[in-house]
Structure 1
Amino acid sequence: MFSDVKVKFQRKNQILFSRDSECLQELIQLIQQQTHRTLVMWALGCAKTPLMEFEEKYPKEKRPRICLTLCEDWARGKMKMDKAKRAILNSHAVAKEIDDPQYGALCHAIGHAGATVHVETHALGLPMYELTALVLKHGIDHFEAPVHDKINFYQKRLLYWQDNTDKLKLEWVDFLLDDTKPNKERLLSEKQRPK
């Protein structure tokens, strides 16, 4: 289930998970069934964990937190995309500046969570990078149980938001209210499927 992760780790890849990772297939299928709003609630909610972990080590670095705050405001229609986009890019920039692969991966996870407001395909960036950070934290010989537990957590949270997002009666930017558009993660999968 984790053979691709081990190969990427040996090659010293920056990111150890992909859309092809066997361990992510059930989560990807679940993501493909969701509305854009549900994925936004899921991604922004799940990103709080990597944010807390990041801030424990880098308490003075506020760009990842600003990213989540501004992207939530964007999702609610309280601001335009340009400020949120800049905040997303700033979260990614932190990863390069700190020269710390584990915590840099957390910054990328947070950036992708925020970018989920823009398009559903960013939602998967959250687990791909946060799980990479878990592998780096626990090491190649001890990562499987924590990664498995985190994937289960993602699935449970996604099922929770699938059932509860619209019950909250939150304000949304207009494009997130349009359920006629197909899920972009599902479209990407269909496009990549062999014919």
Structure 2
Amino acid sequence: MKRYTREEQRLLAVWAADCAERVLPLFEKMRPKDKRPREAIKACRRWVRTGIFRMADIRKASLGAHSAAREAAREAKGGGVACFAARKAGREAKAGRVVCFAARAAGRKAKDGGVACFAARAAGHSVATAHVPEHAFGSSYYAIKALEAADSTSEASRRARIARELSWQWRHLPKVLRKGWQEWQARKLPKAMRKRWREFLKKRK
């Protein structure tokens, strides 16, 4: 694991908070009363501003955001199950429109829950950057996952959206930190995302 200076860690935390904040509305649209991801981002920025590190506070903020992510994921799973059940019932009963609407509503709930889960994960990783600098790259990754999950139009649209977000993240990350990000991506990204990352890097050259 690369060693970062305190100033580099601070820059990573600012970037991570910015990445998470860009997708925070996706979480709050589904769960407007749950402020844990927002509070995690605030805790990250507070650490950057004051330099005061209290492990208990950082841990509480990070775990709170990740708990919010798990709750959103459970809702997504429940929505997916309900969607499949409603569609099956529609086929068997030939009930038509009512069951079809129920299936669509459950499907939307499943999709929104997945989006909210990823957005909350981005917030949780942002504040954890105060403890381990490379958590910043987790914030970047989950922000992209949230945007990818939010776009249900077409594969081409999702790829374009991811490319735009990667470009934004690249431009806003200080040059001195980009090599560390590239190394993290090479180690940590799932296979499908690594392919898109390589495509993105080729266009940067």
Q: Shared topology, TM-score over 0.5?
A: yes
User: Are 2:12 and 1:43 equivalent residues in the alignment?
Assistant: no
State the Cα distance separating 1:59 from its structure 2 match: 1.4
Which has the larger Rg? 2
- Report how far residue 72 of structure 1 moved: 2.4
1:1-195 → structure 2 map (5 Å cutoff): 35-75=8-48, 76-78=50-52, 80-98=54-72, 99=75, 100-139=113-152, 141=155, 142-159=157-174
C-alpha separation in 2, matches of 1:122 and 1:113: 7
Distance across 2 between alignment mates of 1:82 and 1:90: 12
Q: TM-score, normalised by structure 1?
A: 0.61
* TM-score between both structures, scaled by the size of structure 2: 0.58
Q: How much does 1:186 deviate?
A: 8.6
> Once the 2 structures are TM-superposed, how far is the Cα of residue 187 of structure 1 from its aligned partner?
8.7
**Structure 1 ranges of 4+ moved more than 3 A:** 159-162, 183-192
* Aligned residues with identical type, % of pairs: 28
Residue 52 of structure 1: CA displacement? 2.7
Q: Secondary structure at the match of 1:123?
A: helix
> C-alpha deviations, 1:57-82, integer Å up to 9, x for none?
32111111111112322332345121
In angstroms, what is the RMSD of aligned CA positions? 3.2
SS in 1 for 2:134: helix
**Please, which runs of 5 or more residues in structure 2 have no aligned partner?**
76-112, 189-205
Contact 2:17 2:41 in 1 (8 A): yes
Query: How far apart, CA to CA, are the structure 2 residues paired with 1:158 and 1:185?
Result: 9
What is the aligned partner in structure 2 of residue 174 from structure 1? none
Residue-pair matches, total: 140
